[in-house]
Structure 1
Amino acid sequence: MPIIEKEEEEYTVKSAIQLLIGASILSLTALLSGCSQEPEGIEPADPAWTSAANVQQQFEDGSLTSVALVEHYLEEIERNNHQGHDIRAIIEVNPKALEIAAELDRERELGVIRGPLHGMPVVLKANIATADDMATTAGASVMAGFITAEDAFHVQQLRNAGAVILGKANLSEWANFRGANSISGWSGIGGQTRNPHVLTHNPCGSSAGSGAAVAADFSLLAVGTETDGSIMCPASVNGVVGVKPTRSSVSGHGIIPIAAAQDIAGPMARHVYDTALLLDAMATPEAKTRFGTSLASAAQSEFQGETIVLVRAYDERFTGVQEMTDRVADAIREQGINVIEVMEWNLPNQLYADELEVLVYEFQRDLNNWLADFDAPAADMQAVIDYNLANEDTELALFGQEYFEQAIAIDLDTDSESYQNALANSRQLAEQHLNRYLVDLGASAIVMPSYGPAWPTPPLEGPGYSFGTSTAAAVSGYPSITLPAGAEGPLPLGLSIVGMPWSEAQLFSLASLLEAEVGGFKQPAFLSSLEEN
């Protein structure tokens, strides 16, 4: 089994002891406690399209229970996941979700509150290990039904904080690192996730289901993973908030990997505060110390920065991107903050080449290790390739497995020096690019459009993927947040905020300011096509 770092092991043991104490108290009253109900005389709260801040207050005043909240999301999933709007954001729901919610409601009645997430539902991307009744598959048919023997470390933290693991979200198969021409949001197990705003359009990926799930009101909170853009892009095009935290701030233990150099899990939700609350629970003990404060508190605090760099990167086809950038510039200046405008965001081509070399090299190494450590049904990468070839009518009908083939061809020993050079060079180039603004210009953050609008999902024709700005932060390990701040017709547009490592508190403060001034979640219209708009 995977080795857990000593710090993580001590934290898990400590948390387990605390929970056992609480469980002992509960066992004495279990027969006296039924499923939690709202107190008499209190009007039950409507859980539709709610926020974590509202839920916290409603849990406290008794107008909402965890059971009622979970029931709402299960009903929405039943109504629109594989029928109705047919979003296909959820691969499977936790069959014990209501049971867990009822237990957490009983704990609350007894005054046992595990943390700010107590009783809140969270959906996990299906490449995140859970030791329960749900499979960990990365969406791949070769992994169907695979139950891991242990939770990912950050999942155990979420459970300890009182979260209800509601289900597993669909994703781009193998986190979008199988074929060079893959279709974002498609997996062999989950099928094609649809964008809730315009159903013919793509949800991006690889955390497609996580983004679509919170956008469609299938869950209050979700967790995605990112190597480069896999949180930022689906959050942007689905019109929700996504956070790619500082490298190593969330443990990678238990996440089916692409590359340890860049992989990280992060929160996704409809509101900035909600993602801060979730990251507070997910972050490692060391990261919480380095953040210096509660991120949820930071999200409710006044922004203290003096200078912002605003990047006007956009595709001229999309007037909504320019309009969003104009409104953001005006809103920041109205707060008395100095704005330095930059007219382009061009990264050197060598950065992209080096990044790909690093990802392909680490993909073979890290995936083989994960499959072996977790005793997966596919013994190694070659077994996955062979399975796909044997089932090409279903697995390879839409696109190939070129990245698998490139990765398996690498000799981890003889190619090591080239890989090390690419790793060092890519990080240096990414850091130099960001530091040009964050250090040389003394900016508190860089603000820019996240991605262009969603595009028609193949085989539908139309404008394809246009642009994205996630790579520099992904390669450098610097933190980034995207929040909904505009639209191109009915299609949402995201605004990215990037800062120095461990500056999450300041970024959340700025994100909340911008959310209030120019952004904010808009409920999807579930249009059948753009023509319906």
Structure 2
Amino acid sequence: MRHLSSVELLSLDAATLQTKLESGAITSAELVEQYLAQIEKHDKQGLSVNALIAITPRQLLLTKAAELDKERSEGKVRSKLHGIPILVKDAFITAPETGLPTTIGSFAFDDAKPARSARVIEKLESMGVILLGKTNMNELIGLKGFAPANGWSAVGGQTRSAYIAFAKSDGDMGQSNPCGSSTGSAVSVSAGFAPLAIGTETVGSVVQPGNRAGLFAMKPTVKSTLLDGVWPGTPNFDAIGGLTKSVLDLAVITASLLTPERAESLPANGFETYLTKSFNGLRIGFLDQKIWTFPPDVLASTPETIAQMSEAYTAIMDLIKHQEGTKVLYPVQIPEVKDLDYKGELGILAVIFYEMRDNIANFLERFNTTNVRSLEDLVQFNKDHAEKELPSDHPDQDWLVKGLESRPTKEHYEAALAHIRNTAGENGIARLFAEEDLNLLAFPMDSGIAMIAAAAGYPIATMPLGALLWNGRPFSLGIMALPGREDLMFQFMSAFEASVEPRPLPPLLVEHNAELEMPSKSNFHL
């Protein structure tokens, strides 16, 4: 069998693998075998990142891979992802014939039998993608209640970063926390378990794990992706997003996640059309990194670390300033997270709590059999199985209870939604763009910015800016655009990727005999 090196498993994107498949340098069956070996080596043992909830049965995988290899040999290639193994968050319904369960991280769904897979899963399978397995996550995408760390579920346990040893005392956004709720999807890609993965995001659940895993990731515009058969936060904030090792892969997978209506608006070559590797025509406002950062009690950092991140942030601004046809404005101001409060509570939560009962009930209708049929059933199941669902270190289901017992009024819900949409969107980013003639917003990802993106319904993306000298944790630059302007974001990301060194790889997963030059300070050619 032809082997990929440890560095190749960690670094090669799907586009490069597709080239190898097309040339006959490797087969899909061989790819599957090597990713399974990497999972066996480092998921539950070795580095023990614990990123997966389930792996597709080996024989199913090899049969599918052989079918796709045969199709390729006969001249049939379904898509640019034909024969590529991917991983998906366990928030997507997967039908029994996939060999994969649907748990959303909860034992309440351990007997769940859906009628069919989520629409996006069916689409990906029709494109010739190989579903390698399902990834761990914040249980119920974080809707259960407060958790001391992101990336924990009753079914999957605690997922850990491939870059830095996990310490529960760091808290839910601390240095060693891999963030969530699409934790396993991000960690899996960074650990070399697959070239790419998909997750879901309500508030930060794709881009923040992508940030901590040194990946390119995007949450597209709200209501532009195929959410049918996906565990809901709320359709007012939810979207499906990709987590990848390259901007090209992100462009390909993002186009695959869109609704037919949104997909029809793209050029024939999809988002790849916009990968110009040029900043020309982009007008970017940069937020003040001293304001847009997690406070010390959330993310403890050394003075040297703060200086390193600030230096890298300033460097990318300076790089863009000197490009032809660009505009950089710094610092720009937008509403802060506290401005999203409505009558003493974060307005986003009012929307989630109001919709929770109906959204969960609608989701559960997609199962032929399941332990629970309602939010009430789910809360009671957790009480009845507290030893598994409410252990001493994760005893909270307060958000489920609040959605059940303290649902806001319709009037409060509508007013809260209008307030946050207006504050973050029309009177926030949209106003800034109009007044200052901007078309993109840039910011440090180690901040609460995902709240603003969710409240506005705007697309948000992250790209690796470097790795901390202190502990090796990746840190990232984020961007946001107006709804439907992912084209500008992909243009920016392609130019960014062409201007910096390759994304940092997890040193602990690189074999000792591998020749790899890690960036010494940031990722810049400066």
Q: Tell me how far 1:366 sits from its aligned partner.
A: 0.2
Contact 1:239 1:494 (8 Å CA) reproduced: yes
Q: Tell me how far 1:230 sits from its aligned partner.
A: 0.3
Counterparts of 1:18-417 in structure 2, within 5 Å, are 47-48=8-9, 49-95=11-57, 96-131=60-95, 132-200=98-166, 201-292=176-267, 294-300=270-276, 302-314=278-290, 315=293, 317=301, 318-336=306-324, 337-342=326-331, 346-347=335-336, 349-352=338-341, 353-375=346-368, 376-397=370-391, 398-399=393-394, 400-410=396-406, 415-417=409-411
* Rounded Cα–Cα distance in structure 2 between residues aligned with 1:159 and 1:340: 44
What residue is the counterpart of 2:505 in the other structure? 523
Q: Tell me how far 1:299 sits from its aligned partner.
A: 2.6
Q: What is the DSSP-based 3-state SS (H/G/I as helix, E as strand, rest coil) of the residue aligned with 1:92? A: strand
What residue is the counterpart of 1:442 in the other structure? 437
* Rounded Cα–Cα distance in structure 2 between residues aligned with 1:86 and 1:287: 39
Contact 1:433 1:472 (8 Å CA) reproduced: no
Number of matched residues? 469
Q: What is the DSSP-based 3-state SS (H/G/I as helix, E as strand, rest coil) of the residue aligned with 1:526? A: helix
Q: Tell me how far 1:411 sits from its aligned partner.
A: 5.1
Give 1:339's aligned amino acid.
Answer: V
Pairing 1:484–2:461 present: no
Q: Tell me how far 1:45 sits from its aligned partner.
A: 6.0
Give 1:351's aligned amino acid.
Answer: L
Q: 1:322 to 1:345 in 2, by over 3 A?
A: farther
* Rounded Cα–Cα distance in structure 1 between residues aligned with 2:384 and 2:4: 52
Give 1:92's aligned amino acid.
Answer: A
* Rounded Cα–Cα distance in structure 2 between residues aligned with 1:45 and 1:386: 48
Q: Tell me how far 1:372 sits from its aligned partner.
A: 2.9
Give 1:298's aligned amino acid.
Answer: Y
* Rounded Cα–Cα distance in structure 1 between residues aligned with 2:508 and 2:159: 13
What residue is the counterpart of 1:473 in the other structure? 453
Q: Tell me how far 1:89 sits from its aligned partner.
A: 0.6
Contact 1:310 1:446 (8 Å CA) reproduced: yes
Contact 2:335 2:428 (8 Å CA) reproduced: no
Q: What is the DSSP-based 3-state SS (H/G/I as helix, E as strand, rest coil) of the residue aligned with 1:440? A: helix
TM-score, L = length of structure 1 = 0.84
Give 2:385's aligned amino acid.
Answer: N
Give 2:428's aligned amino acid.
Answer: H
Q: 1:410 to 1:373 in 2, by over 3 A?
A: farther
TM-score, L = length of structure 2 = 0.85
Q: Which moved more, 1:47-56 or 1:498-507?
A: 47-56
Runs of 5+ in structure 2 lacking a partner? Answer: 167-175, 510-526
Contact 1:305 1:444 (8 Å CA) reproduced: no
Deviations 1:147-198 (A, max 9, x none): 3221111111111111111100000101012112442100001100001001
How large is the RMSD of aligned CA atoms in angstroms?
Answer: 2.0
* Rounded Cα–Cα distance in structure 2 between residues aligned with 1:237 and 1:44: 28
Q: 1:521 to 1:148 in 2, by over 3 A?
A: farther
* Rounded Cα–Cα distance in structure 2 between residues aligned with 1:147 and 1:235: 30
What residue is the counterpart of 2:521 in the other structure? none
Deviations 1:220-273 (A, max 9, x none): 110010000000110001111111001122111000112121111111111111
* Rounded Cα–Cα distance in structure 2 between residues aligned with 1:89 and 1:475: 29
Q: Which moved more, 1:288-297 or 1:222-231?
A: 288-297
Runs of 5+ in structure 1 lacking a partner? Answer: 1-36, 38-42, 452-466, 528-533
What residue is the counterpart of 2:496 in the other structure? 514
Contact 2:337 2:448 (8 Å CA) reproduced: no
Q: What is the DSSP-based 3-state SS (H/G/I as helix, E as strand, rest coil) of the residue aligned with 1:470? A: helix
Give 2:121's aligned amino acid.
Answer: V
